[in-house]
């Protein structure tokens, strides 16, 4: 790995966690990759599994790992509660479980496709912040002692999302960040017509991780309409040229960069929705950074776009490094967030049932491997140790060789009738951690 990337990652994470940890949804480098070796290429529910921990209910959030602790969100199906869980990394024993619910009551789900335990937690190595799609935001220390809790719907008004909101918190520069990019028309718990006197705003929040208090709330405008204003992406931090720090925010038909100290917008680029004609283009994938560009996945079957970084103000089309075009290797991803490693993006297409390796600088496709179409592939890919790990809604994990795209192994980790499994495969401390609907598996090359 090139020196500049090592220096950048070190500066981002020096105060967060050891390199073998997986401290937030997209891992230690915010791009779905990590340096690792001797990871298992072959495994199954009974093969190379060190332990399997029964989950109290379903949850689409990806586990995070800090030291000896695995932390994740879940539903407690027996009690109809949203919970924060801590599992011991070596044994699979549940160390603690805490109810996440505030006095804000909104059930466990908005619809039958998912539940509010969909965002992933994040840690600064001392505290863990859990967020849930109903707005519950709570913080515990690593021993499970509550530090603070609040509910963002109660504080800032009911969310206006058609689907279960699932942006994950980002902890960086001593702050907790969350984007709330929602439509400007009522939906769900919001009733009545659009009110010009009390508009529904999209905004970025920064909070103090020690107290949970709001440090700033920065409005984030958009010309998009209706559902196309909605975004489920997570904020991605980066350090650019001259040491400029910024948070990448995607949604409302544009990608923007923001000063983490104030929330002020530094630049924006878009749109993939010309004239904002499409009203129903909610955006799910988070941007991923590599080789000086941010990869943006437009919704549905639209292309992916590589946007040049380090600009200022409103950027024009000259900021577009490349976009995907044509078949058979047309790149598109409606839900999964791509991964990046060593000059290449790995784009998992849930709409075209294919995994592609793409040159980050040129957009050239190195290889494309077609995937089975029995179930949707909506978990984001993970790259490590020369392998790409992907999981479908049925809990089937496929392992690909990152250099050729060849399928090395396929393992059925979910139950036969599982569906809507969405957590990404996690790599930490020499093991894989695989979350299905009912279990959390620890998989290692040697038992």
Strand, helix or coil for residue 6: helix
Closest CA to 293 of 353, 210, 362: 362
Q: Which two three-digit tokens encode residue 136?
A: 């519950």
Answer yes or no: is pLDDT of 7 > 80. no
Maximum CA pair distance of the chain? 62
The pLDDT assigned to 12 comes to 45
Q: Which two three-digit tokens encode residue 297?
A: 């996945």
The pLDDT assigned to 101 comes to 75
Q: What is the mean pLDDT of residues 37-65?
A: 95
Q: What is the mean pLDDT of residues 407-431?
A: 95
In degrees, rounded to 5, the angle at the alpha carbon of residue 259 between the alpha carbons of residues 267 and 153 is 100
Q: Are 130 and 139 in contact (CB under 8 A)?
A: yes
How is the chain split into domains, by residue range? 61-150
In terms of pLDDT, which residue wins out, 200 or 397?
397
Kindly report, residue by residue over 335-352, the tens digit of the pLDDT: 999 999 999 999 999 999
Q: Which two three-digit tokens encode residue 447?
A: 């038992």
Q: Which two three-digit tokens encode residue 151?
A: 């509910």
CATH class of 61-150: mainly beta
Q: What share of the chain is helix, strand, coil (3-state, %, to 5)?
A: 5, 40, 55
Q: Which two three-digit tokens encode residue 381?
A: 């890919």
Which of 97-106, 162-171, 215-224, 331-340 bottoms out in mean pLDDT, i.e. has the lowest? 97-106
DSSP state of 231: B
The pLDDT assigned to 328 comes to 53
How does the average pLDDT of the chain come out, rounded? Answer: 91
- Distance between CA atoms of 272 and 89, rounded to whole angstroms? 42
The pLDDT assigned to 107 comes to 67
Q: Which two three-digit tokens encode residue 51?
A: 């332990």
Strand, helix or coil for residue 126: coil
Answer yes or no: is pLDDT of 311 > 50. yes
- Distance between CA atoms of 312 and 106, rounded to whole angstroms? 41
């Amino acid at each position: 790995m090139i020196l500049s990337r090592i220096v950048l990652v070190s500066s981002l994470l020096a105060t967060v966690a050891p390199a073998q940890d997986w401290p937030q949804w997209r891992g230690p480098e915010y791009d779905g990759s990590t340096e690792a070796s001797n990871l298992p290429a072959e495994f199954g529910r009974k093969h190379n599994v060190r332990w399997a921990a029964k989950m109290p209910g379903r949850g689409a959030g990806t586990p995070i790992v800090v030291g000896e602790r695995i932390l994740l969100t879940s539903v407690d199906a027996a009690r109809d509660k949203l919970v924060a869980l801590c599992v011991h990394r070596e044994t699979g024993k549940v160390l603690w479980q805490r109810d996440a619910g505030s006095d804000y009551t909104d059930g466990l789900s908005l619809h039958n496709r998912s539940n509010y335990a969909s965002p992933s937690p994040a840690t600064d190595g001392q505290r863990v912040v859990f967020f849930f799609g109903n707005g519950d935001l709570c913080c515990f220390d690593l021993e499970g002692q509550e530090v603070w809790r609040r509910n963002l719907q109660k504080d800032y008004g009911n969310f206006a999302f058609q689907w279960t909101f699932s942006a994950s918190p980002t902890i960086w520069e001593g702050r907790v960040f969350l984007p709330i990019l929602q439509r400007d028309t009522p939906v769900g718990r919001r009733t009545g017509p659009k009110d010009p006197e009390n508009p529904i705003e999209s905004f970025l929040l920064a909070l103090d991780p020690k107290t949970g208090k709001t440090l700033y709330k920065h409005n984030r405008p958009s010309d998009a309409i209706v559902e196309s204003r909605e975004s489920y992406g997570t904020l991605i931090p980066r350090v650019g040229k001259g040491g400029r720090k910024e948070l990448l925010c995607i949604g409302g038909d544009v990608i923007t960069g923001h000063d983490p100290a104030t929330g002020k917008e530094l630049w924006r680029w878009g749109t993939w929705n010309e004239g904002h004609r499409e009203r129903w283009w909610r955006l799910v994938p988070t941007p991923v950074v590599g080789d000086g560009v941010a990869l943006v996945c437009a919704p549905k079957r639209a292309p992916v776009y590589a946007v040049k970084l380090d600009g200022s103000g409103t950027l024009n089309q000259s900021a577009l490094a490349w976009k995907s075009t044509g078949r058979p290797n047309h790149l598109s991803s409606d839900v999964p967030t791509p991964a990046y490693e060593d000059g290449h993006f790995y784009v998992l297409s849930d709409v075209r049932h294919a995994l592609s390796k793409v040159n980050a600088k040129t957009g050239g496709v190195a290889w494309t491997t077609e995937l089975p179409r029995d179930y949707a592939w909506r978990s984001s890919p993970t790259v490590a140790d020369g392998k790409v790990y992907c999981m479908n809604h049925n809990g089937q994990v496929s392992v690909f060789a990152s250099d050729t795209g060849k399928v090395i192994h396929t393992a059925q980790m979910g139950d036969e009738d599982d569906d809507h499994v969405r957590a990404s495969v996690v790599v930490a401390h020499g093991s894989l951690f695989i979350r299905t609907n009912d279990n959390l598996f620890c998989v290692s090359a040697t038992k």
